[in-house]
């Protein structure tokens, strides 16, 4: 195989950026205005979004630096190299648990939202199971093809989102947006934390840098990958508040989907646009889901080289499905989501940054 065809099988910097964006845009973007409106009580939430965006970029930059230090090594390999093999095993295993929990969260979210907006009689169990089957199918193929799906889905999703914003722009009432700058710092910080929970996803750079054509440009990919979601979060938040007012948003489960509900397509070709919106949104949740599943598999295969990928897919799926079915109601479900994210913050933000510090101090470097 020639070098050119080989480089076709790797990720360009832009592709990596799109991957980050696709993973970040998932369920979080549908729910975050509620949490943010609760904390900040108004349009000031945008400050929280920017603030948490900056923090996310700082963390992301550090993670990209760490991964770029070990350009062609897996997460397991470089954690072992920095902090001894046992630590590598434990940390990688915890990351696998995290990514599996994430997949469970995403597929359960699909079930919940589909139940609310598309179905009345179909049980959540079946909706979730069918989704998991398609995710398995994506896993069974090659990794690069799977990541290429992000390139296919993200433009569609962005266009649909843009259309929704376009059609709702006339519904914004200036009254809803005021007053400006009324929140105190404490609530803004709380708001940042609330948004930050739905920002998770950019940590995939830790695991996919080894597939990049130019691993050094990981930080660039991170900048691109974070810029799109942050801008989207900002716009959506302003629109949601502008259309519904903060008081209403606090009580909406999925404010972003409800924003789509307000769309009236001229000519009346479709009614209930929110169902269509969600139907398209399945794609982006699918993106998030498959990437997390893949990260679990990357890490497992890097630890146990003798076990085939297919075995892991079949082994993990029932576990993921079982965990996804555990939350009994929406409250349970969102608590579950919060716990997963807090857990993730320790495992994929704090620990890798510590590793980077150790690596810099001890001068550990990867090989090309």
Partner 1 sequence: MMRKFFAHRNKKKTSPLMQRMQQSQIPDQELSSSVKENLELFRTLLGNPNDLLIRSFLIGNSNHLCAVIAIDGLVDSAMLHTQVLGRIQLMLSIAEKTVPVEPDEILSLLFDEVLSVVEIKKETSLAAAVDCILSGDTALIVDGTSQIILIDSKGWKSRAIEEPVSEGLVRGPRDGFTENLRDNTVLIRRRVKDPNLRFESMVVGKRSKTELLVAYIENIADPDLVKEVQRRIATIDVDEVEESGFIEQWIEDDFLSPFPQSNNTERPDKVSAALFQGRVAILLDGTPMVLILPVTLGLLMHSPEDYYERWIVGTLTRLLRYLAAFFAVFSPSLYIALVTFHPGLIPSDLAFSIAATRDGVPFPAFVESIMMITTMELLQEAGLRLPKPIGQTVGIVGGLVIGDAAVSAGLVSPVMVIVVALTAISSFAIPAYHLAIAFRMIRFFAMFAAAIFGVYGVVLSLIAILIHLSNLTSIGHPYLAPFAPHMSKDWKDLILRAPVTFLKDRPEMLHAEDEIRMRTGDSK
Residues that bind partner 1 (CB under 8 A): 1-2, 4-5, 8, 12, 14-15, 114, 118-119, 122, 127, 130-131, 134, 137-138, 141-142, 145-146, 148-149, 151-153, 268-272, 275-276, 279-280, 282-283, 286
C-beta of 283 vs 356, nearer to partner 1: 283
- In the complex, the smallest distance separating the C-beta of residue 122 from partner 1, rounded to whole angstroms, is 7
C-beta of 69 vs 108, nearer to partner 1: 108
C-beta of 141 vs 318, nearer to partner 1: 141
**CB under 8 A, 24+ apart: contacts of 255-260:** 255/30, 255/31, 255/33, 255/34, 255/37, 256/29, 256/30, 256/31, 256/33, 257/30, 257/113, 257/117, 257/281, 259/164, 259/168, 260/164, 260/168
Q: Give me 235's structure tokens.
A: 């716009």
* CA neighbor of 15 nearest in space, from 198, 143, 141, 183: 143
- In the complex, the smallest distance separating the C-beta of residue 110 from partner 1, rounded to whole angstroms, is 9
C-beta of 95 vs 285, nearer to partner 1: 285
- In the complex, the smallest distance separating the C-beta of residue 48 from partner 1, rounded to whole angstroms, is 33
- In the complex, the smallest distance separating the C-beta of residue 267 from partner 1, rounded to whole angstroms, is 9
323 with 231: CB under 8 angstroms? no
- In the complex, the smallest distance separating the C-beta of residue 268 from partner 1, rounded to whole angstroms, is 5
C-beta of 181 vs 269, nearer to partner 1: 269
CA 343 to chain centre: 15
- In the complex, the smallest distance separating the C-beta of residue 324 from partner 1, rounded to whole angstroms, is 16
C-beta of 86 vs 268, nearer to partner 1: 268
- In the complex, the smallest distance separating the C-beta of residue 357 from partner 1, rounded to whole angstroms, is 36
Query: What interhelical angle do 124-140 and 273-303 show, nearest 10?
Result: 50
C-beta of 35 vs 285, nearer to partner 1: 285
* CA neighbor of 91 nearest in space, from 344, 315, 307, 291: 344
Work out the widest C-alpha separation in the chain, in whole angstroms.
66
The SS3 of residue 252 is coil
Distance CA(115)–CA(258), nearest Å, equals: 15
Say how many residues make up the chain: 368
Task: Tell me how crowded residue 294 is: count the other CB atoms within 10 A of its CB.
Answer: 23
Distance CA(22)–CA(33), nearest Å, equals: 19
């Amino acid at each position: 195989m020639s070098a050119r065809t080989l480089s076709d099988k790797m990720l360009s910097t832009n592709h990596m950026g799109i991957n980050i964006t696709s993973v970040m845009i998932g369920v979080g973007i549908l729910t975050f205005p509620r949490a943010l409106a609760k904390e900040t009580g108004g349009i000031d939430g945008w400050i929280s979004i920017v603030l948490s965006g900056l923090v996310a970029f700082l963390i992301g930059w550090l993670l990209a630096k760490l991964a770029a230090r070990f350009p062609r090594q897996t997460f397991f390999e470089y954690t072992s190299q920095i902090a001894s093999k046992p630590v590598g095993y434990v940390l990688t295993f915890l990351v696998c648990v995290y990514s599996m929990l994430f997949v469970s969260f995403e597929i359960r979210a699909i079930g919940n939202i589909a139940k609310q907006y598309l179905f009345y009689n179909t049980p959540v169990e079946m909706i979730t199971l069918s989704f998991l089957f398609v995710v398995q199918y994506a896993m069974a193929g090659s990794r690069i093809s799977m990541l290429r799906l992000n390139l296919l889905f993200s433009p569609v999703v962005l266009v649909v989102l843009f259309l929704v914003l376009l059609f709702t722009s006339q519904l914004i009432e200036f009254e809803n947006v005021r007053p400006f700058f009324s929140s105190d710092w404490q609530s803004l910080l709380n708001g940042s934390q609330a948004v930050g929970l739905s920002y998770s996803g950019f940590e995939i750079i830790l695991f996919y840098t080894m597939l990049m054509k130019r691993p050094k440009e990981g930080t660039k990919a991170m900048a691109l990958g974070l810029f799109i979601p942050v801008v989207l979060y900002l716009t959506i938040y302003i629109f949601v508040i502008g259309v519904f007012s903060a008081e209403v948003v606090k009580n909406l489960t999925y404010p972003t989907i409800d924003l789509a509900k307000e769309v009236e397509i001229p000519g009346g070709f479709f009614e209930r646009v929110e169902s269509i919106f969600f139907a398209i949104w399945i794609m982006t949740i699918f993106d998030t889901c498959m990437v997390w599943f893949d990260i679990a598999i990357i890490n497992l295969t890097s630890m146990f080289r003798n076990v085939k990928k297919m075995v892991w897919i079949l082994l993990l799926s029932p576990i993921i499905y079982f965990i996804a079915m555990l939350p009994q109601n929406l409250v349970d479900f969102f608590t579950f989501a919060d716990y997963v994210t807090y857990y993730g913050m320790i495992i994929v933000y704090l620990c890798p940054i510590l590793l980077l510090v150790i690596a810099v101090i001890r001068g550990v470097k990867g090989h090309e």
